[in-house]
């Protein structure tokens, strides 16, 4: 009967979505634990140790605490915006996971414009952050929201350029096909133009996921916590969840775009390879976060427009040239 029900495309999509949601939430819990442990070891301390064996359950405890906490809405806040903002941040992150292929058949929804969709859907989150900044009616949050808008829009450009270069090579916008094109260790990272593109992409994603050295929207030493200063309880949890889900997604997308997707040595399932490679990239992001100081807002924007965008443009031209003249296409 279950098999019969799954024949129905609606039910199948619902099941897919539910599974995805579970995977994301679980993944984020693991990620938070990892972040704390990695930060702990980088900073020569232990990280969580008390809740569960080796602190394994710390994230669960935190999640329970956040859910149970009182949900405070500041009196001068713009209630409508304030309440709505976390959803605007959270939902796009879920939406982009829809098209992320974990393995050849393991994708919730595969369509031919997935690469474009990822960019478009991801950008909606900026709205949520600006709404949070404005709706809180707090000057620190407002500054954080504005910084965030400027930053995300600026860094979207190099990221798009980097993805565009990949699309040239794969001759497709479907993430599944992009990954398929790299099977058998013909990863795009080994193509010189795309190696540069990968760097541009990772730096851009570092900024888009608001992580040090680009964590200006929530720079705790300047803006207290930026746009989510006044959020508490479940609403804060949504921002938190979105941030970590976004970090994971950025890494997973990088794996799909540059590191061969689920391609790996035989013995493990493809999906496991993808997750494993993503976690390696996430680790790199964490490593960067706990090592570098934060840049200033003018340096941040200057770097995007004066360094990354020109490099991105050159990479696009280079990629186009190698596809057309050098036969760089993999298939």
Partner 1 sequence: MSLEPRTDPNPPTAGPETPAKGPAIDAQALHQEILDLGTQGMVMNMGPQHPSTHGVLRLILTLDGEEVMACEPMIGYLHRGLEKMAERRPYRHFLPFTDRLDYVCSLANNLACAQAIERLAGVEVPERAQWLRVALMELNRIASHLLFLGTFGTDLGATTMLLYAFREREEALALLEAITGARLTYNWIRVGGLPDDMPENWDKGVLAFCDLLESRLPEYDRLLTDNPIFRRRTEGVGVVSPEDAKAYGLTGPTLRASGVAYDIRRWAPYEKYAEIDFDVVVLRDGDTFARYLARRLELEQSVRILRQVFDKLPEGPIASKVGKVLKPPPGIAFSQVESPRGELSFTMVSDGSPNPVRVHIRAPSFANLTVLADLVAGNKVADVVAILGSIDIVLGEVDR
Q: Is 143 near partner 1 (CB under 8 A)?
A: yes
Quote the tokens at residue 262.
């689920």
CB of 210 to partner 1, least distance (A): 12
Taking the C-alpha atoms of residue 312 and residue 318, their distance in angstroms, rounded to an integer, is 10
Each residue 92-131 as x (binds partner 1 by CB under 8 A) or -, in order, gives ----------------------------------------
Cβ-based nearer residue to partner 1, 292 or 329? 292
Long-range contacts of 317-323 (CB under 8 A, 24+ apart): 318/165, 318/192, 318/193, 318/196, 319/164, 319/165, 319/166, 319/168, 319/169, 319/193, 319/194, 319/197, 320/168, 322/191, 322/192, 322/193, 323/168, 323/169, 323/171
Q: Residues near 278 by Cβ (< 8 Å), separated by ≥ 6?
A: 248, 251, 252, 254, 255
Shortest distance, position 316 Cβ to partner 1, whole Å: 27
Choice from 10, 293, 325, 327 touching partner 1 (CB under 8 A): 293
Q: By CB under 8 A, is residue 70 in contact with partner 1?
A: no
Of 8, 13, 171, 291, which one interacts with partner 1 (CB under 8 A)? 291
Stretch that binds partner 1, among 51-59, 220-228, 235-243, 247-255 (CB under 8 A): 220-228
CB of 26 to partner 1, least distance (A): 27
- Measured CA to CA, the distance from residue 170 to residue 187 in angstroms comes to 11
Q: Nearest approach, Cβ of 114 to partner 1 (angstroms)? A: 34
Applying CB under 8 A, among 9, 53, 221, 267 the residue interacting with partner 1 is 221
SS3 state at 326: coil
Q: Where along the sequence are the contacts to partner 1 (CB under 8 A)?
A: 42-45, 139-140, 143, 146-147, 212-213, 215-216, 219-224, 290-299
């Amino acid at each position: 009967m279950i098999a019969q029900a799954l024949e129905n495309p609606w039910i199948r999509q619902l099941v897919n979505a539910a599974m995805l949601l579970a995977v994301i939430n679980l993944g984020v819990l693991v990620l938070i634990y990892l972040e704390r442990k990695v930060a702990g070891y980088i900073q020569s301390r232990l990280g969580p140790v008390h809740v569960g064996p080796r602190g394994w359950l710390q994230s669960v405890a935190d999640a329970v605490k956040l859910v149970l906490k009182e949900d405070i809405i500041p009196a001068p806040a713009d209630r409508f915006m304030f309440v709505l903002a976390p959803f605007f941040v959270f939902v796009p992150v879920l939406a982009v996971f829809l098209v992320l292929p974990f393995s050849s058949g393991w994708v919730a929804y595969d369509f031919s414009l997935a690469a474009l969709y990822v960019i478009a859907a991801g950008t909606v989150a900026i709205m949520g952050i600006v709404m949070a900044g404005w709706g809180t009616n707090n000057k620190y949050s407002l500054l954080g929201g504005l910084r965030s808008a400027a930053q995300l829009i600026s860094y979207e450009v190099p990221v798009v350029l980097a993805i565009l270069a990949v699309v040239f090579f794969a001759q497709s916008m479907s993430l599944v096909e992009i990954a398929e094109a790299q099977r058998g260790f013909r990863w795009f990272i080994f193509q010189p133009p795309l190696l540069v593109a990968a760097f541009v992409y990772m730096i851009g994603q570092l900024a888009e996921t608001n992580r040090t050295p680009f964590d200006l929207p929530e720079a705790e030493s300047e803006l207290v916590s930026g746009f989510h200063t006044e959020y508490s309880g479940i609403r804060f949890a949504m921002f938190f969840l979105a941030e970590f889900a976004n970090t994971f997604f950025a890494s997973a997308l990088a794996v799909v775009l540059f590191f061969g997707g689920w391609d790996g040595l035989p013995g493990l399932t493809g999906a496991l390879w993808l997750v494993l490679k993503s976690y390696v990239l996430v680790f790199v992001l964490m490593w960067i976060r706990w090592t570098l100081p934060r840049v200033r807002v003018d340096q941040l924007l200057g770097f995007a427009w004066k360094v990354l965008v020109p490099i991105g443009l050159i990479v696009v031209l280079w990629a186009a040239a190698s596809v057309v003249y050098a036969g760089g296409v993999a298939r």
